[in-house]
């Protein structure tokens, strides 16, 4: 987009209907205005120095270079948020392959912002806004467009804030948003006023009295000797460890039982709670020990690991290899001391010499036998892999940007209903469509609280994403939406459905590899979303994936006593339930308080919802739009 077009195209919707009338009025009065201007100019010229010149507005300067930056998601760790403000035109930030996405810059002080410049890569946003905030929580939109065409955008705004955010609601293609450089210009930091010199109390030319002997000035060596030696205390903890060690902190529970807050951690170890974005940026893209990622800096979990800035200090910090997800590394083998090495070599040489020519022959035969065994083992493993199509043990993380957007939208819904005295409606589905979000309600309801608008005779509520992103959000429990699952991308946008609304068995059919892939994503959604309640996951039968994070049982009889009302979880079956088992499950689902999700991997004639996963990456059903379940592969695996 050309710079001259940004202002007109972005704000075209705000043009007043009185524009034509105003234009004619301006044309009719221009002659009079010129005459008055000339007269005033002549009069002011006669005043000369009597009127002081108006103070010139400071020229906007670049504020964003090297400032802390965080983003909604990353395509992969090679494209972090900080590369959008590093001043290098050859590095970039690239988001996940979904909508919406955002890039947030902390200017580290409140100031007046005059201009934002964005250099887009080929993958760009087609609809986005520029927002400002003083606290990083409440945002005010200063510019918006739904007709962006990439290239370089120069956006002239005028607003005050510490945080600047680009918030995108639509992309140009299937890839994510990608920015080479984002530059923010605003008022420079005011220079401190020079202190007025304090008047000296001594006379201008003091003369020592004859009776008072003049004391000699101390020499430099005497002065240095009299000064106390500076004391240097070692940082806490000591910076000693194996190569690759970093400074980190393990999140704990606060006294109120909840998890610690990032700004409190910054205040404790950096003496400045406003430096929390530095910790978020360092930790960005690191997979936590529980397999999740820090997608929203406001939400931490006990046991998560935060990479700390080098100047952090204080009790509780640790220095060493950064803990993360995965099995513990093997213990390093003990090193052989230099003095022992020659002894081993000499002993080996003597043994070889004493064995004569038989020794080399035996060594060669042994090596050939070992090689043959390794080759055979490799062939067996490859064949076994093809036959069983093993499951990736790691549960994929959720689509971070969509999860953050949906979670905030649900919390804004909770606050709006409470504000207007309305009951919180049941939600069967969530659809992110362009720049808006639509809720499919379990039962029609009207009216809807602001900013929601009733549509489809009360069956749906719709709201602009920009208002949901900046609206007041509840911090209450989202347990009502705990079984909400992101299925993938349809033709009109992202599709989420509440599995609890099925009130019966959900079947997932298709080729083994495809349905295993979809199941892996579903489990990641059910256990890793911000609104999830960490449900128990039980797999029953043979031929199922074998993730380590879930329970595995041989028969459904082992779990039937635990399928009780009031407790919830996810039950995955390798085959359709028998007639007796169907009756048992139907009796359980008859109770509204039964919150288990039952998934059958394969065909199940008695299933209430039936999905089919194809090798082409599409997930099909008879009641929802077809969606691409493989669209987020790069997003999900990018941070690992």
Which one has a higher pLDDT value, 360 or 445? 445
Average of pLDDT values for 591-606?
Answer: 89
The pLDDT-based confidence of 354 (bands split at 50, 70, 90) is very low
Question: What is the DSSP pairing of strand 318-320 with strand 305-307?
Answer: unpaired
One domain, residues 176 and 279: no
Cis check for the bond before 100: say yes or no (omega within 30 of 0): yes
Check residue 194 and give its pLDDT: 56
Q: What is the pLDDT of residues 504-525, one digit of tens each?
A: 999 999 998 899 889 988 988 8
Residue 48 lies in a domain: no
Contacts of 623 (CB under 8 A, 6+ apart): 609
Tell me what pLDDT residue 80 has. Answer: 92
- What pairing do the DSSP bridges indicate for beta strands 305-307 and 246-250? antiparallel
Q: Is the pLDDT of residue 609 over 50?
A: yes
Determine, yes or no, domain membership for 154: yes
Q: Residue 318 in contact with residue 248, Cβ under 8 Å?
A: yes
| 541 lies in some domain | yes
Give the residue from 159, 163, 162, 170 showing the smallest Cα distance to 115.
159
Which pLDDT tens digit goes with each residue over 53-80? 445 567 899 999 999 999 998 888 889 9
**What pLDDT is stored for residue 206 in this prediction?**
47
- Residue 528 inside a domain? The answer is yes
Predicted pLDDT of residue 174? 84
Phi/psi at 446 (nearest 5 deg)?
A: -160, 145
Q: In the chain, how many domains are there?
A: 3
Do 169 and 265 lie in one domain? The reply is no
Q: In the predicted model, is pLDDT for residue 481 greater than 50?
A: yes
In a domain, 355, yes or no: no
Instruction: Confirm if 401 and 73 have CB atoms less than 8 A apart.
Output: yes
Q: Does residue 524 share a domain with residue 456?
A: yes
What is the rounded distance in angstroms from the CA atom of residue 75 to the CA atom of residue 84?
A: 14
Q: Which two tokens stand for residue 452?
A: 């929601």
Provide the CATH number for the domain around residue 126.
Answer: 2.60.120.260
Q: Is residue 373, in this structure, part of any structural domain at all?
A: no
How confident is the model at residue 117, as a pLDDT?
96
| pLDDT, averaged across the chain | 76
**Beta strands of 23-122 (E only): which ranges?**
61-62, 69-71, 93-94, 101-120
Maximum average pLDDT range among 151-160, 208-217, 271-280: 151-160
Predicted local distance difference test score (pLDDT) of residue 235: 61
Q: Residues 161, 271: one domain?
A: no
- Nearest-angstrom CA–CA distance, 83 and 65: 10
Mean pLDDT calculated for residue range 86-93: 91
CB neighbours of residue 38 within 10 Å = 10
Task: Return the higher-pLDDT residue of 566 and 178.
Answer: 178
Average of per-residue pLDDT across 359-378? 67
Residue 588 falls inside a structural domain: yes
User: Do 423 and 550 belong to one domain?
Assistant: yes
Q: Is residue 275's pLDDT more than 60?
A: yes
For residue 320, say if its preceding peptide bond is cis, omega within 30 degrees of 0: no
d(CA 82, CA 91): 10
pLDDT(640) > 80: no
> Are 438 and 540 found together in one domain?
yes
Non-local (6+) Cβ contacts of 606 within 8 A are: 504, 505, 576, 577, 582
In 529-632, which residue ranges form alpha helices assigned H by DSSP?
A: 579-589
Residues 136 and 251 in one domain: no
Residue 12 has what pLDDT? Answer: 39
- CA gap 239, 434 in Å, rounded: 49
Q: pLDDT, tens digit, for every residue of 112-166? A: 999 999 999 989 999 999 999 998 888 999 999 999 999 999 999 999 999 999 9
Which CATH number characterizes residue 589's domain? 3.40.50
Last residue of a domain, one of 170, 186, 202: 186
Query: Do residues 519 and 571 touch, judged by C-beta distance below 8 A?
Result: no
Q: Please tell me whether residues 416 and 543 are part of one structural domain.
A: yes
Inside any domain, residue 535: yes
Question: Lowest-confidence range among 35-39, 197-201, 252-256?
Answer: 35-39
φ and ψ of 226, to 5 deg: -80, -20
Residue 364 predicted with pLDDT over 70: no
Q: Among 145, 168, 186, which residue terminates a domain?
A: 186
Q: Is this structure's pTM higher than 0.75?
A: no
- Percent of the chain whose predicted confidence (pLDDT) is above 70: 70
Decide: 148 and 54 in contact? Cβ < 8 Å. Answer: no
pLDDT at 579 over 60: yes
413 plus 316 within the same structural domain: no
Let me know whether 263 and 134 are in one domain: no
Cα→Cα distances 270→306, 308, 376, 626, Å? 13, 9, 57, 50
Has residue 637 got a pLDDT over 50?
no
Nearby residues of 583 by Cβ (< 8 Å), 6 or more positions away: none
Q: Where are the alpha helices (DSSP H) in 529-637?
A: 579-589, 633-637
Pairwise CA distance, residues 26 & 21, whole Å = 9
Distance CA(69)–CA(267), nearest Å, equals: 19
Among residues 290, 320, 350, the one where a domain terminates is: 320
**pLDDT at res. 196:** 53
Over residues 6-35, the mean pLDDT reads 40
Decide if pLDDT at 498 tops 90: yes
In this structure, the answer to whether residues 521 and 437 fall within a common structural domain is yes
Both 596 and 483 in one domain: the answer is yes
Q: Is the pLDDT of residue 313 over 70?
A: yes
Based on C-alpha coordinates, what's the Rg of the chain?
Answer: 34
Both structure tokens of 53: 């010149």
Nearest to 299 by CA among 2, 530, 67, 12: 530
Domain carrying residue 142: 61-186
**Residue 290 has what pLDDT?**
84
Nearest 5°: phi and psi at 353?
-70, -35
């Amino acid at each position: 987009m050309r710079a001259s077009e940004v202002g007109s195209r972005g704000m075209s919707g705000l043009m007043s209907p009185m524009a034509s009338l105003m234009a004619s009025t301006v044309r009719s009065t221009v002659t009079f205005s010129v005459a008055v201007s000339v007269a005033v100019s002549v009069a002011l010229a006669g005043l000369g120095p009597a009127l002081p010149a108006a103070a010139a507005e400071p020229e906007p300067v670049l504020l964003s270079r090297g400032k802390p930056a965080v983003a909604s998601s990353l395509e992969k760790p090679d494209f972090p948020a900080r590369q959008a403000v590093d001043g290098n035109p050859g590095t970039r930030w690239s988001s996940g392959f979904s909508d919406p996405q955002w890039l947030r810059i902390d200017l580290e002080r409140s100031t007046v912002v005059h201009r934002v410049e964005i250099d887009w890569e080929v993958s760009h946003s087609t609809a986005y806004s520029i927002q400002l905030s003083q606290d990083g929580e409440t945002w005010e939109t200063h510019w918006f467009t739904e007709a962006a065409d990439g290239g370089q955008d120069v956006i002239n705004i005028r607003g005050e804030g510490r945080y600047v955010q680009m918030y995108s609601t639509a992309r140009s293609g299937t890839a994510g948003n990608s920015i080479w450089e984002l530059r923010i210009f605003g008022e420079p930091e005011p220079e401190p006023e020079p202190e007025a010199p304090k008047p000296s109390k001594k006379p201008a030319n003091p003369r020592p009295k004859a009776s008072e002997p003049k004391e000699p000035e101390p020499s430099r060596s005497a002065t240095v000797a009299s000064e106390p030696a500076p004391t240097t205390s070692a940082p806490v903890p000591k910076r000693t460890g194996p190569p690759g060690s970093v400074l980190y902190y393990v999140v704990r529970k606060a006294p109120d039982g909840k998890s610690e807050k990032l700004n409190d951690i910054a205040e404790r170890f950096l003496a400045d709670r406003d430096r929390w974005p530095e910790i978020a940026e360092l930790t960005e893209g690191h997979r936590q020990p529980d397999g999740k990622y820090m997608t929203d800096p406001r939400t931490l979990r006990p046991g998560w690991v935060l990479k700390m800035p080098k100047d952090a200090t204080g009790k509780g910090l640790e220095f060493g290899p950064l803990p993360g997800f995965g099995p513990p590394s093997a213990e390093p083998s003990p090193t052989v001391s230099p003095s022992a090495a020659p002894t081993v070599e000499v002993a080996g040489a003597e043994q070889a010499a004493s064995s004569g020519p038989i020794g080399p022959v035996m060594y060669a035969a042994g090596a050939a036998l070992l090689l043959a065994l390794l080759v055979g083992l490799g062939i067996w493993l490859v064949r076994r892999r093809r036959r069983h199509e093993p499951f990736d043990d790691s549960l994929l993380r959720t689509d971070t940007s969509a999860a953050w957007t949906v979670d905030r939208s649900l919390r804004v819904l909770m606050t709006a209903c409470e504000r207007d005295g309305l009951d919180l409606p049941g939600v069967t589905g969530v659809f992110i469509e362009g720049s808006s979000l639509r809720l499919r309600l379990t039962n029609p309801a009207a009216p809807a609280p602001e900013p929601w608008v009733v549509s489809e005779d009360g069956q749906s509520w719709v709201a602009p994403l920009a208002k949901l992103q900046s609206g007041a959000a509840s911090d209450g429990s989202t347990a009502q939406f705990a079984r909400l699952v992101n299925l993938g991308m349809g033709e009109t946008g992202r599709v989420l459905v509440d599995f609890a609304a099925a009130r019966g068995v959900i079947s997932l059919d298709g080729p083994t590899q495809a349905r295993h892939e979809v199941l892996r994503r579903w489990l990641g959604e059910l256990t890793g979303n911000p609104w999830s309640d960490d449900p128990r996951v039980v797999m029953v039968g043979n031929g199922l994936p074998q993730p380590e994070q879930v329970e595995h049982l041989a028969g459904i009889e082992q779990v039937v006593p635990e399928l009780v009302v009031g407790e919830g979880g996810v039950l995955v079956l390798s085959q359709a339930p028998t007639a007796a088992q169907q009756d048992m499950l139907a009796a359980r689902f008859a109770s509204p308080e039964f919150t288990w999700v039952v998934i059958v991997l394969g065909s199940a004639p008695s299933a209430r919802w039936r999905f089919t996963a194809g090798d082409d990456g599409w997930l099909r059903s008879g009641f929802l739009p077809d969606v691409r379940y493989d669209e987020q592969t790069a997003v999900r695996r990018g941070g690992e």
